A and B are shown apart, each in its own frame.
Chain A
Amino acid sequence: MNKGAKKTLIKLVVAVPLMFAFGFALVPLYDVFCEITGINGKVFQSEYSDELVTNEGRPIALQFISTNNENMPWTFKPSEQVMKIETGKYHTATFYVKNTTNKKMMAQAVPSVAPSNAAEHLKKLECFCFEQQVLMPGEDAVLPVKLLVSNDLPSNIKNIILSYTIFDITDYSDEAMAHNLMDME
Chain B
Amino acid sequence: MSAVIENHHDDHHHGPAKGITRWLYTTNHKDIGTLYLWFSFAMFLIGGAMAMVIRAELFQPGMQIVEPEFYNQMITLHGLIMIFGGVMPAFVGLANWLVPMMIGAPDMALPRMNNLSFWILPFAFFILLSSLFMEGGAPNFGWTFYAPLSTTYAPPSVTFFIFSVHIMGASSIMGAINVVVTIMNMRAPGVDLMKMPLFVWSWLITAYLLIAVMPVLAGAVTMMLMDIHFGTSFFNAAGGGDPVLFQHIFWFFGHPEVYIMILPAFGIVSHIIETFSRKQLFGYSSMVWAMLSIAILSFVVWAHHMFTVGLPLAAEIFFMWATMLIAVPTGVKVFNWVATMFRGSITFETPMLFAVAFVVLFTIGGLSGLMLAIVPADFQYHDTYFVVAHFHYVLVPGAIFSIMAAVYYWIPKWCGNMYDERLGKLHFWLSFVGVNVTFFPQHFIGLAGMPRRYPDYALQFADWNMVSSVGAFLFGFSQILFLFIVLKTVMGGKKATGQVWEGAKGLEWTVASPAPYHTFSTPPKID
Residues of chain A touching chain B, judged by Cβ–Cβ distance below 8 Å, are: 1-2, 4-5, 8-9, 12-13, 15-24, 26-27, 30, 37, 39-40, 69, 108, 110, 116-117, 165, 167-169, 172, 177
User: Can you give 25 A-B contacts (C-beta < 8 A)?
Assistant: A1-B110, A2-B185, A4-B184, A5-B185, A9-B177, A12-B211, A16-B211, A16-B215, A19-B211, A19-B213, A22-B219, A23-B216, A23-B217, A23-B219, A23-B220, A23-B249, A27-B234, A30-B245, A39-B311, A40-B244, A110-B237, A117-B312, A168-B238, A169-B238, A169-B239
Instruction: Give the distance in Å from the alpha carbon of A30 to the alpha carbon of B243 in the complex.
Output: 12
B66 within 8 Å of A by Cβ?
Answer: no
Other-chain residue from A16, A30, A165, A177 in contact with B237 (beta carbon distance below 8 A): A165
Q: Told that A1-B109, A172-B231 touch, could you supply 14 new A-B pairs with CB distance under 8 A?
A: A5-B109, A5-B185, A8-B184, A12-B211, A16-B177, A24-B223, A26-B219, A30-B245, A37-B312, A39-B310, A40-B310, A69-B237, A110-B240, A167-B238
Measured between beta carbons, the chain B residues less than 8 angstroms from A116 are: 310, 312
* Structural contact, B180 and A40, CB atoms closer than 8 A: no
* Structural contact, B238 and A110, CB atoms closer than 8 A: yes
Tell me the total A-B contact number using a CB cutoff of 8 A.
99
Q: A16-B211, A19-B212 are in contact. Are A4 and B185 (CB under 8 A)?
A: yes
* Structural contact, A19 and B239, CB atoms closer than 8 A: no
Instruction: Give the distance in Å from the alpha carbon of A15 to the alpha carbon of B208 in the complex.
Output: 10
Measured between beta carbons, the chain B residues less than 8 angstroms from A26 are: 216, 219, 245, 248-249, 252
Instruction: Give the distance in Å from the alpha carbon of A26 to the alpha carbon of B185 in the complex.
Output: 33
B173 within 8 Å of A by Cβ?
Answer: yes
* Structural contact, B177 and A12, CB atoms closer than 8 A: yes
Complex interface bits, B208-240 against A, C-beta within 8 A gives 1, otherwise 0: 000111111111100100000001011001111
The residue of chain B having its C-beta at the shortest distance from the C-beta of A39 within the complex is B312
Other-chain residue from B180, B233, B249 in contact with A8 (beta carbon distance below 8 A): B180
Measured between beta carbons, the chain A residues less than 8 angstroms from B238 are: 69, 108, 110, 167-169, 172
Other-chain residue from A4, A15, A24, A110 in contact with B211 (beta carbon distance below 8 A): A15
Instruction: Give the distance in Å from the alpha carbon of A69 to the alpha carbon of B177 in the complex.
Output: 45
Q: A23-B218, A26-B252, A110-B238 are in contact. Are A12 and B180 (CB under 8 A)?
A: yes
Instruction: Give the distance in Å from the alpha carbon of A16 to the alpha carbon of B175 in the complex.
Output: 13
